[in-house]
Chains A and B, each alone.
Chain A
Amino acid sequence: MHSNLINVAVIGYVVATGLALAHLVQRHDLVYRLSVLAALAGWAAHTVALISRSLELGAPPLGSLPDAIWVAVWVIVLLEVLLEQRTGVRVLGAFVLPIVVVLSLKATTARPGTLAPALGSAWIWIHIALAMVGIAAFVFNFAGAIMYLLQERQLKAKRPGAFYYRLPALQTLDRLTFRTLALGFPFLTTGLVLGAMWARAAWGSAFAFDPLAFFSAVAWLVYAGTLAGRAAAGWHGRRAAYFSIIGFVALALTLGAGLFLPGRHGS
């Protein structure tokens, strides 16, 4: 039941991604609407899958990293559709949905690991949930940074190409990356702090080497630096975008490490 629904969701997201990319090229209104529809259909199946998974486990569907990633994907798709409707930036899907597909495939191909049995505390659920919302925000941060760099290149090169016509204004994109950073950072921070506290309680040490914890600390440092740079030194635009991309690479490594390397977060 659960895995069938997850498959439906993945198919929905893959179709939505294909259509969103086609819309980026073709700009057919119908293609765009079908893409939104496919994403929503996938999301609906995904919602039911999460509920059924949670009933099956008798706990929030966050007990293993693949499960947690599914929740992050769920949040991302929801935000993507909402943001697109609110801001009217219809190309957002073409940048965010591919990441959704990659995350989904990562989560499906990972070993269905279970966490250490010490999952007794409610804090652990909050740790995971906050970290996943943070990740969702940073996906948009990354997409915004990529779009900013593409648009800036076109404007500097003075040769308008496909992206010049399709992407929104530079300031809009810079604001998107700033806001998603400002939103994601507190979630990530609280999530990491809770994780460290819990690790100390469970294993007696907050900072024993764990690949996921290591890379997430790197990602946190990059994002913290970017946020500080933005707030204090007036960083913005291209420089901030580069840092957003570096931070996201660290975040991707974090998830990859958690999924494929042995450690406390994996099996």
Chain B
Amino acid sequence: MTLFVTGLNHRNAPVALRELLAVEEDKLRELVHDLQASEVLREVVVLSTCNRVEVYGIADAPGEARALAFRSLCRHRGVDLGVVEPLLYTHLDADAVRHAFRVSASLDSMMIGEPQILGQVKEAFALAQACEAVGPHLHPLFSQAFSVAKRVRTETEIARHAVSVSFAAVELAKKIFDGLGGRAVLLVGAGKMSELAAKHLVEHGAFPIYVANRTWARALELARALAGTAVPWDELPTALGAVDIVVTSTGAPEPVITRGAVTRVMHGRRGRPLFFIDIAVPRDVEAGVDGLDDVYRYDIDDLKQVVDANLRERAREAQRAETLVEREVSKFLARQADVEVIPTIVSLRARLEEIRLGEVSKTLARLPDAPPETRAAIEALSTAMINKILHVPITKLRASSRAGASRSWLELVHELFGLGRHP
């Protein structure tokens, strides 16, 4: 009986194949039922997302189970098994545990730290549970995987830093301003990306929003969409004095915001920083404003650079997360191992206790006049002997099971102490 996971993911399988194999919920339910009914798998969970198709299961012959699972999947989607087979990876036991933890914790995702995968694993697990395909092996595995994922999210910054340009701009604003609540935003030009950045800023409390556009009608339209105020194009230099964040994305061939214009407004701002998010190419804000105090200007390349730095930061955090996962894997395996030997330890103890009780009562029957102290001493002596005798075998059993070699030891103990056949 072995825990295994088999499947393919974004790393080894092209999207054309992944999208063919991605299964919708109804079919997934059917597949889990079929696999469960096959007798080859005792327990099974099937995870199917746009980036991976994986079968987690408990089987006596994982190879057979894997062939069965993917044969029916391929048949269902009309894919040649021969195409899929060479791409499949299979992990057993400890490796499978590690894989389950890493996938749930988003360490195996295309975008490390993305938040969707945990929900998808939870759904897959719930579906398998509904099909009664989850038992004493997969249940603890997945419960543990969920808690590991949660720990990774809260204890590392793997999901913290923005990986999109518009979110990176919001994060930068938060490093400049003491909170975004009540910060005024001016949108210059009307690009999709600047609108998105403005929306993110609003979500973080930025208010009010001003919109300036060469085309007045377009300014009005966008202002309405963002619940903002349209500003006439000629008033742009004045508007600069009143806002905190400026998002530009015009199609103008020349900068629309010059160093001179910014220098003029900075005097009246009394140290309030001014943050330019320039998404336009060619750029809308003169690079010369960088030399001004309290002015921060990020163009599209700068923002990409920030995103890259964030990705590196995530990767560093992922290293920490891997260590955490590794620790959780060994804890999980140790607990599993204990679970495996506990029934034997319990029956061994019961067997010896039974012998002890029998012998003690026989002895006491022969000593009817023995004072209570003697009786207590006999009880204590026999109990101490049992415990001493059991100590080494129990330690040995636990150790052997943690080393993954418990089977022969368990059989031996059952045989030696007449505990009946080991299941």
Which A residues are within 8 Å of any B CB, using their own CB?
27, 29, 151, 155-156, 158-161, 164-165, 167-172, 174-175, 234-239
- Give the one of A158, A165, A174 with max B CB within 10 A: A158
Which B residues are within 8 Å of any A CB, using their own CB?
155, 157, 161, 172, 174-179, 270-271, 273, 290, 293-294, 296, 298, 302, 305-306, 309-310, 313
Say which residue of A156, A167, A172 sits within 8 Å of B290 (CB atoms): A156
Residues of B within 8 A of A29 (CB): 155
Residue of B whose beta carbon sits closest to that of A164: B175
Do the beta carbons of A159 and B176 come within 8 Å of each other? no
Do the beta carbons of A238 and B293 come within 8 Å of each other? yes
Residues of B within 8 A of A238 (CB): 293
Residues of B within 8 A of A171 (CB): 176-178, 273
Q: Decide yes or no: A237 and B309 within 8 Å by CB, A29-B155, A171-B177 being known contacts.
A: no
Tell me the number of A-to-B contacts counted with CB atoms below 8 Å: 55
Q: Decide yes or no: A160 and B306 within 8 Å by CB, A29-B155, A170-B176, A236-B271 being known contacts.
A: yes
Measured in the bound complex, the distance between the Cα atoms of B172 and A235 in whole Å is: 23
Do the beta carbons of A169 and B174 come within 8 Å of each other? yes
Minimum CB–CB distance for A178 against chain B, Å: 10
Pairs across A and B, CB under 8 Å, 30 listed: A27-B157, A29-B155, A151-B175, A155-B172, A155-B296, A156-B290, A156-B296, A158-B298, A158-B306, A159-B305, A159-B309, A160-B309, A160-B310, A160-B313, A161-B309, A164-B175, A165-B161, A169-B175, A169-B176, A169-B177, A169-B178, A170-B175, A170-B273, A171-B273, A235-B271, A236-B270, A237-B271, A237-B294, A238-B293, A239-B293
Residues of A within 8 A of B306 (CB): 158, 160
Do the beta carbons of A237 and B298 come within 8 Å of each other? no
Minimum CB–CB distance for B168 against chain A, Å: 9
Residues of A within 8 A of B178 (CB): 169, 171-172, 175
- Give the one of A161, A170, A235 with max B CB within 10 A: A170
Measured in the bound complex, the distance between the Cα atoms of B271 and A239 in whole Å is: 11
Minimum CB–CB distance for A144 against chain B, Å: 13
Measured in the bound complex, the distance between the Cα atoms of B155 and A27 in whole Å is: 9
Measured in the bound complex, the distance between the Cα atoms of B175 and A236 in whole Å is: 17
